[in-house]
Structure 1
């Protein structure tokens, strides 16, 4: 490299460093400004929260005849909103993390706005938002559950390859064979769950065909369960209901489907966080609408009709929110299992590739390093196999 080229390189590096330093200074400046704006907007956030508690949470009605109160409250609310939005817009434009969960607080703003500006329609809009949020979280959970199932299917193939490799090695230690037997047991359990799920999926589909989608719970649960059957079976565990679900109808089909989905843990009024609350939310009393627009319409109609008989809209909204939070909690647990599975799979894939040189070799000729590598391969395969059967319940 000549003198000129070296000088050009030095200039380029110097400019890059100068640009980086200038950029860091700018980011620090934006963070300081964001901090100042955050301190200024805290009172507005507290004001919105207080209005939410007063007019939405407590259900207190505005005195519609008191125009001054209505106008004053509306003006205060709009001022709080303008200042809050200014803070969020600044953070977004400068790519500075806001010191508040905007998505969550946005819901509070919408609920407060409805309670103040449209008190007569506030609960209907809140119910609609709760339905949409449940629908969105259900879809997220389904995607996550299917992702875990795919990772486990990939793992099965890799485990099979490792088994073939180890079995081809002559004079291998008996401890390897014992571990391979344990691995085979875990693999068989997973494959059995898949086979069970396939059969029940068919049964659930047959059961759904015999139940009208608009016939309250039975049709909705039976209609949704088949789509979730495969990943639910390996994520929550399975339990036989004794009678083929396809032979049942109405409430009996509903109870059987829930009992299967929840590993038998779902009974009337029963169920814990994992197999109970979460799966009740998964099958939905209100969220069944995610099965399709026609089901959504029929279920929403059913819900609105029974409000006068069974419970208030406010209680229904709280229940739906509780179900949504349950789904979020379960999704986080599934994500954790996915991360664990991916990590071990990635390491094992590389180790298997490195150990292919031992195919059909004689273990007695191995060096200490070779033996250690093979032992690590077997142990990690056992760890991956154990994750095949890990359920959400195992984290409780």
Structure 2
């Protein structure tokens, strides 16, 4: 009886940590998608900045955003954004306004996979991204990304590399992998394995929380910089001037400041969060 109770408690503890892990995993994905939404809006703003600058005749060539040190990275990001799918009901996806799908679940939008790729600097094949087109986007992202903590064949918890899409081996761990492995061992090994898996999951939960926090920090910084650039652009547009030589000294400095901040925003847009510990 005592041994049975120990086994039951070990398996219950593992079950709780697996639920916690999946919740933190989905929250991390959700924060990445919020960041992608913010970046998408930032790119539209940068387009407005470029259009405005082109209206100003004889402006200093140093203001051109194409001279940015991250121009190539930015071009690659814009190419990836072609896969971006605008939300049908945008209000549901505003920061802090995502709906829950039951206890501990987070509503992921149609850009979950793309958000993972762009946030964490991964390099999936075009075929992988192509699989996410259409109505199956959310389900595909959840199937692919909600897991990854259990190794096939050994039942040993491994450190998950979130969204590891570039490698030849895809994420192929289901929700019941741990339970299946427990059934193949004797009672003593069941308890030992449950304890090992529980400890490993706790470590991964802490790590996921840190990744989510860094993602949210990057999103907040991007929002702040976007608001600043938008304010400066709107002020410049009120001048209704199209010749740089007609700008006063203060107005020219304001244009220079706006373009410098736009350059910083472009760099922020392509910033990635490394998944190494």
Q: Give 1:173 shift.
A: 0.8
- 2:219 matched to which residue of 1? 338
TM normalised by structure 2 equals: 0.67
Aligned to 1:384: 265
2:195 to 298, 314, 322: 314
| Contiguous gaps of at least 5 residues in structure 1 | 1-61, 65-114, 199-223, 248-256, 262-267, 269-275, 290-297
Residue 19 of structure 2 aligns with which residue? 132
Give RMSD over aligned pairs: 3.9
CA contact (8 A) 1:163 1:180 kept: no
Q: How does 1:225-374 map to 2 (within 5 A)?
A: 228-240=112-124, 277-279=160-162, 288-289=174-175, 298-307=176-185, 312-359=193-240, 361-374=242-255
CA offset digits 1:33-82 (Å, max 9, x no partner): xxxxxxxxxxxxxxxxxxxxxxxxxxxxx9x6xxxxxxxxxxxxxxxxxx
Richer in helix (by share): 1
TM-score, length-scaled by structure 1: 0.48
Preserved CA contact (<8 Å) 1:194 1:234: no
Which residue pairs with 1:142 in the alignment? Answer: 29
Query: Structure 2 regions of 5+ residues with no counterpart?
Result: 86-107, 132-140, 146-151, 153-158
1:169 and 1:358 in contact (8 A); partners too = no
- Checking the alignment, whether the CA contact within 8 Å between 1:169 and 1:359 is kept in structure 2 is no
CA change 1:244–1:175 in 2 (3 A) is: closer
Higher alpha-carbon Rg: 1
**In 1, Cα distance between equivalents of 2:121 and 2:12:** 37
Distance 1:378 1:330 in 2: 31
Shift of 1:236: 1.1
| Equivalent of residue 75 in structure 2, options 188, 192, 213 | 188
Q: Following TM superposition, by how much is the alpha carbon of 1:139 offset from its aligned partner in structure 2, in angstroms?
A: 1.9
User: For the residues of structure 1 that align with 2:241 and 2:52, how far apart are their CA atoms?
Assistant: 8
Q: Distance in 1 between matches of 2:84 and 2:206?
A: 26
Between the two structures, name the one with larger relative contact order (CA 8 Å, sep ≥ 6): 2
Aligned positions, number: 223
Whole-Å separation in 2 of the counterparts to 1:378 and 1:390: 19
Offset, 1:186: 4.5
